[in-house]
Amino acid sequence: MIQAKGYAAQSPETDLAPWNFERRDVGPHDVQIEILYCGVCHSDLHQIKNDWFPGIFPMVPGHEIVGRVIRTGDHVKKFKTGDLAGVGCMVDSCQECENCKAGLEQYCLEGNTQTYNGLGRDGVPTYGGYSNTIIVREEFVLHVSGKLSLAATAPLLCAGITTYSPLRHWKVGKGHKLAVLGLGGLGHMAVKFGVAFGAEVTVLSTSPSKEEAAKALGAHRFVVTSDPEQLAAVTGTFDFILDTVSAKHDMDMYLALLKTDGTHICVGVPAEGIAFQAFSLLGGRKSVAGSGIGGIPETQEMLDFCAEHNIVSEIEMIDINDITSAYERMLKGDVRYRFVIDMATLK
Amino acid sequence: MIQAKGYAAQSPETDLAPWNFERRDVGPHDVQIEILYCGVCHSDLHQIKNDWFPGIFPMVPGHEIVGRVIRTGDHVKKFKTGDLAGVGCMVDSCQECENCKAGLEQYCLEGNTQTYNGLGRDGVPTYGGYSNTIIVREEFVLHVSGKLSLAATAPLLCAGITTYSPLRHWKVGKGHKLAVLGLGGLGHMAVKFGVAFGAEVTVLSTSPSKEEAAKALGAHRFVVTSDPEQLAAVTGTFDFILDTVSAKHDMDMYLALLKTDGTHICVGVPAEGIAFQAFSLLGGRKSVAGSGIGGIPETQEMLDFCAEHNIVSEIEMIDINDITSAYERMLKGDVRYRFVIDMATLK
């Protein structure tokens, strides 16, 4: 076994704290990565607090991982020692079902193996990226370009692909009006991708104070949803809403902003669920859709697209021992737009 | 003005009873129809009881109208006296917005004019088909074939088009597995259309007793959703669910039955709204969509399709003075599958 160190929650009631643990040895198809940076996703906090479902403890969160390959198994073909590498939300899947074969491992019919708070196919709990090292089978390791900031690349592995994938799936681009709901880790990436794909991007927000920041990210328009006049002006105008909000929100209000045949795409997970009136859909043949991360081929495509178009996440780097205060700030929305842990601070 | 007679609810608290009222004179673009049959839609009851929104009283329900043209305005081109004619859920729209121009009058951006419980463009309340006659502008009058039973054709004007339209829009057909939820007025038409379009049709029901009837309508499979084994066997198997249920139901359970990228299409309107967990969508890039009736060109297409393929509604004919007991039976699901009022019984 390989000795690893990281930060773990021992239970939903405790803060993250240093924890030493074991990872599996490097198998013939495995890649061992020295973790350099790990993004801090809102879902990390949801999971250590059991907001969605009972978790597996101790829990080492983190699924926005960038690092360097330090060992490879005998049969590994895609990576060699010294390569830059990324790991996102999944570390395994059955690889045999129709979804896996279609490159949709996130929808593996047997269930994919989450990077943390999951059970590996060997029945052993998985531990995530708030850690010095990780061992992952090569099919789930991504190539990362050295052209961009590695720290700012880390959030692409979740926040990036989670917004890139639905925009690609629904072919959002030139001629479309796209609204982005929630200007956090996911939302700010949605703005960047929407703009890069040629859509007219509007940020919907309750806070007028975010306008400057939204425009700085490339958004063409900014609408304060608490202002009835601004809201009326965009009623029935959007082809798509990309909804990154994971708190309860008024779906009927947002559905009214869609055009006939418009689609409201949810990528956030409000613990309370999603609720609306049937007429909000029936009145314009509208849809509420959901999308979860992206498959491995598409994640690589997204990383390559970002390298080519110079797209990274806006980040604030933190020491791992400041993680609890970072969570507190994240809860208040006080981060532009993603905390990334500098793993050199894990002693 | 034209003297008309019908059955009206004077308030949400009172039963339907005979009522004499006036309709507008036949204008240059209007068609006057002697109503022969009118279907009884569950939404008639919802509306006279103010289940969805405050109604306009007195209210004459009825939007599944078949009859004969008895007068035409000077500029009417499509109809002549003696023609068979149908009227559905709408009697007007702006006819100028992009949706109207696209033949999607049901999604008129100014709002269409409902056949009853609406206000006409002249500000006068509309009164529906539980009546001896109706005056409608010709653009909203449909041609009805004499090849089929006229009484059994009436429900096509709402139950028919409401299920035909989404199946056509989402291109449901050969190679698709379609589940139909709710085997009532809408559901039984969804089965007939799904089969006619070449889909493999499964009826989902809580009552094992409906299996024979479902198969008689052409359904290929029948699943009792209260049986965990039967439910497990169809988990993740449907491309589409057409959901005709207007009572509260467990959306998460049904969403689990969809394949990856599957679509749950709601055409019923539960007063409580629609609610589910975000993971039910995100776990398979699924969609919940809504669809309302259909546009005028598509309604004519549907009627022509039905005439060609010998498709009508299964009906039970009633006297109009039995309408209150028919409502009671409808509430208990005790109708196969649509009551139709024989307007000859309106004295």
Test mutation, B47, B258, B263, B281, chain A, max A CBs within 10 A:
B281
> Terminal CA-to-CA distance of chain B, rounded, Å?
20
Q: pLDDT tens digits for B215-250?
A: 999 999 999 999 999 999 999 999 999 999 988 999
Residues in chain A within 8 Å Cβ distance of B275? 273-276
User: Using alpha carbons only, what angle is made at residue A340 by residues A339 and A343, rounded to the nearest 5 degrees?
Assistant: 145
> Are A260 and B99 a contacting pair at CB < 8 A?
yes
Distance CA B18, CA B3 (A): 14
pTM of the model: 0.95
pLDDT surpassing 90 at residue B333: no
Q: Look at A277 and B274 and tell me if their CB atoms are within 8 Å.
A: yes
Of the candidates B166, B275, B283, the beta carbon closest to that of A273 is on B275
Rounded Cα gap, residues B314 and B155, in angstroms? 9
Q: Give the whole-angstrom CA distance, residue B34 versus residue B279.
A: 52
Which residues, including other chains, have CB under 8 Å from residue B243's CB and lie 6 or more apart?
B181, B182, B249, B254, B264, B265, B266, B267, B268
Of B269, B280, B288, the CB nearest to A279: B269
Closest residue in B to A287 (Cα) is B289
Distance CA A208, CA A301 (A): 35
What whole-number distance in Å separates Cα of residue B169 and Cα of residue B46? 27
Tell me the H-state helices in B217-266: 228-233, 251-255
- How would CATH label the architecture of A160-290? 3-Layer(aba) Sandwich (3.40)
Contact B58, B21 (CB under 8 A): yes
DSSP letter string, B101-149: HTT-GGG-TT--EESSSSB-TTSPBP--SSBSEEEEEGGG-EE--SSS-
Q: Would you call B292 and A269 a contact, using CB atoms and an 8 Å cutoff?
A: no
Facing residue for A292 by CB, picked from B276, B283, B292: B283
Chain A residues in contact with B161 (beta carbon < 8 A): none
Indicate yes or no: CB of B278 within 8 angstroms of CB of A269: yes
Q: Which residues contact A179 (CB under 8 A, 6 or more apart)?
A: A201, A202, A203, A204, A223, A234, A238, A240, A241, A242, A254, A257
pLDDT given for residue A155 in this prediction: 98
Rounded to whole angstroms, the Cα distance separating B286 from B15 reads 42
Chain A residue closest in CA terms to B272: A277
Whether the pLDDT of residue B107 is over 90: the answer is yes
Largest Cα separation within chain B, whole Å, is 64
Cα separation, A194 vs A179, whole angstroms: 9
Phi-psi region for residue B251, left (φ > 0), alpha (ψ -120 to 50) or beta?
alpha
Q: Look at A283 and B107 and tell me if their CB atoms are within 8 Å.
A: yes
pLDDT of chain A, 347 residues: tens digit per residue = 999 999 999 999 999 999 999 999 999 999 999 999 999 999 999 999 998 889 999 999 999 999 999 999 999 999 999 999 999 999 999 999 999 999 999 999 999 999 999 999 999 999 999 999 999 999 999 999 999 999 999 999 999 999 999 999 999 999 999 999 999 999 999 999 999 999 999 999 988 999 999 999 999 999 999 999 999 999 999 999 999 998 899 999 999 999 999 999 999 988 899 999 999 999 999 999 999 999 999 999 999 999 999 999 999 999 999 999 999 999 998 999 999 999 999 98
A vs B, Cβ pairs < 8 A, gives 107
Would you list which residues of chain A are within 8 Å, Cβ to Cβ, of chain B? Answer: 52, 99, 104, 107, 109, 166, 169, 236, 260, 263, 266-270, 273-292
- Is the pLDDT confidence value at B271 over 90? no
Q: What is the pLDDT of residue B246?
A: 87
Which tokens hold the place of B263? 């679509």
Q: What is the pLDDT of residue A112?
A: 97
- Chain A residues touching B284 at Cβ < 8 A: 107
**Would residue B229 be called left, alpha or beta, if left means φ above 0 and alpha means ψ between -120 and 50 degrees?**
alpha
Domain with CATH 3.40.50.720 in chain B: 160-290
Percent of chain B at pLDDT > 90 equals: 96
Domain with CATH 3.90.180.10 in chain B: 2-158+294-345
Query: Where do we find the tokens 């139950």?
Result: B159
Question: In this structure, is the dihedral angle defined by the CA atoms of residues B243, B249, B251 and B257, taken in order, positive or negative?
Answer: negative
Q: A2-158+294-345: which CATH topology? A: Quinone Oxidoreductase; Chain A, domain 1 (3.90.180)
Q: Please give the structure tokens belonging to residue A25.
A: 């040895």
Closest to A340 (Cα-Cα) out of A213, A170, A160:
A160
Q: Residue B259 pLDDT > 90, yes or no?
A: yes
Query: Within 10 A of B171 (CB to CB), how many other CB atoms are there?
Result: 9
